[in-house]
Amino acid sequence: MSLPVFVTEGVRGARTGDRVLLDGDEGRHAATVKRIRVGEQVVLTDGDGTRLTGSVVEATKSTLVVEAAEVEVVPAATPHVTVVQAIPKGDRGELAVEVLTEIDVDTIVPWAASRSVAVWRGERAAKSLAKWRSAAQAAAKQARRARFPEVTTMATTAEVADLLAAADLAVVLHEAATDAFADLDLAGVGSVVVVVGPEGGISDDELAAFGSARTVRLGASVLRTSTAGVAAVAALLSRTPRWR
């Protein structure tokens, strides 16, 4: 059985034998909800690569003190994978973030596509972004990731075009594309950006803006926006050292 994972910046710089305090929301969750007690083992991470495994030596109603038995720093993996996710309606955005996090995507970029049904503005934008980031953290803990994905602020089409131009491999998923995803050449690729359009599809103007990217299809089936990204990234990662 995998050990429970909690997030704290207190692990940064920790060494074997050090004692680390887990407090705040994570401490309360561990002590009150999970009911972690003295003598149990847990994993602490900062979400930025540091992972500490140790035993609880003190416990209160809202804090734990963990003595480090092992500390490791997990390096960033190559290639770096970014998914630009068009904002879907309802809770499908959080679903997309959850599954993308589970399969080890590095960066998730919410995109305000012209045909997105849901629109993030004002207070709703802040709340929606917070939900995506919360979903990413929960999924990263569940997946036992030491490096959590970055969920950026909402990007415009012009900003997405800049991301694509800077990537070693830039890919736009499109049902009408003639090139197959399986034919992509990953040799020497250090960074990948995959664009997933909205349920209504990517407009001609957006495709024109993404001119530096390669437009590809996954297969004969048309996938929903909340599942297309995970299918594409899984197919991609299976051909890289990250999944070997």
**Domain boundaries of the chain, sorted by first residue:** 5-73, 80-243
Which residues make Cβ contacts (< 8 Å) with residue 25, sequence separation at least 6?
none
28-61 pLDDT per residue, tens:
999 999 999 999 999 999 999 999 999 999 999 9
Task: Enumerate the H helices of the chain as residue ranges.
Answer: 24-28, 92-102, 122-142, 157-166, 204-209, 225-237
Three-state secondary-structure class, residue 115: coil
- Percent of the chain clearing pLDDT 70 (strictly above): 100
pTM across the whole model? 0.93
Candidate CATH numbers 3.40.1280.10, 3.40.50.300, 3.40.109.10, 3.30.70.270; the one for domain 80-243: 3.40.1280.10
User: Domain 5-73 in CATH: superfamily?
Assistant: Hypothetical PUA domain-like; domain 1 (2.40.240.20)
Q: Taking 90 as the threshold, does the pLDDT of residue 244 lie above it?
A: no
d(CA 134, CA 115): 25
The closest of 36, 28, 31, 26 to 3, measured between CA atoms, is 36
d(CA 109, CA 122): 18
Q: What is the pLDDT of residue 19?
A: 97
The closest of 202, 99, 208, 112 to 157, measured between CA atoms, is 112
Q: What is the pLDDT of residue 52?
A: 98
Which has more pLDDT, 207 or 212? 207
Q: What is the pLDDT of residue 89?
A: 87
Which H helix or E strand runs over 20? strand 19-22
Q: What is the pLDDT of residue 176?
A: 85
83 pLDDT band (50/70/90 cuts)? very high
130-151 pLDDT per residue, tens:
999 999 999 999 999 999 999 9
Q: Taking 90 as the threshold, does the pLDDT of residue 212 lie above it?
A: no
Q: Taking 80 as the threshold, does the pLDDT of residue 182 lie above it?
A: yes
